[in-house]
Each structure stands twice: as C-alpha cells, then as structure tokens.
Amino acid sequence: MCPITKSAKKALRQSEKRRIRNLQKKRKVKNLLKEVGKLISQKKIEETKKLLPQVYKLLDKAAKVGLIKKNAAARKKSRITRLINKIGGPKSQQ
C-alpha cells in the first residue's frame, strides 16, 4: 500500500527509520544479554561484573525510550544480578 499525501509519505519514511533504529537497539540488548549469559555459564564472574554497568545502562535506556517495558528491564537486571550473586557469592565471602 502506497501513501498518497505528502504527510503520509513523510510519516512512512520516519516510521521506517525508527523501525530500523529500534531493531538495531533491540539486537544490541539481546547480544549483550547473551554474552553475559555465556560468561555466567563459564563462571567468569569478574568479566561479568565488569559488563554489568553496561547491561544496566542499555536496559535502562531501552526502557526509557519504550523499546522494552520498564518492568521487563527491571526483571532482566534482577535475574542477571541474582545469577551472578548465586555463582560468585560463596567465593567472595571467604
């Protein structure tokens, strides 16, 4: 379906640009979460802790602009932190 009016054509261009930008950001979030998951499964706690602020920042920004919902971002941050503490907890207390 092709837009007819000038404003509709512009709106189509804008939405296409936004869609591409949103997909890129979503992919970036997904890849970072996968990377953290791999590091956790390999029990590389120090590297994971270094990545944690980056993950938090990316998730918070994604939630802020509406890319993902606020509670989804909070849930993901919570789960990652819980996994890190579960694996690295006993060692750091000794």
The model's pTM: 0.80
Q: Nearest CA to 84 among 44, 54, 55, 57? A: 44
- C-alpha of 7 from chain center: 33
The full set of domain ranges for the chain reads 9-88
CATH number of 9-88: 1.20.58.110
pLDDT averaged over 10-residue windows placed end to end, the chain, 94 residues: 93 96 95 94 90 94 95 95 83 48
Q: Nearest CA to 65 among 91, 31, 26? A: 26
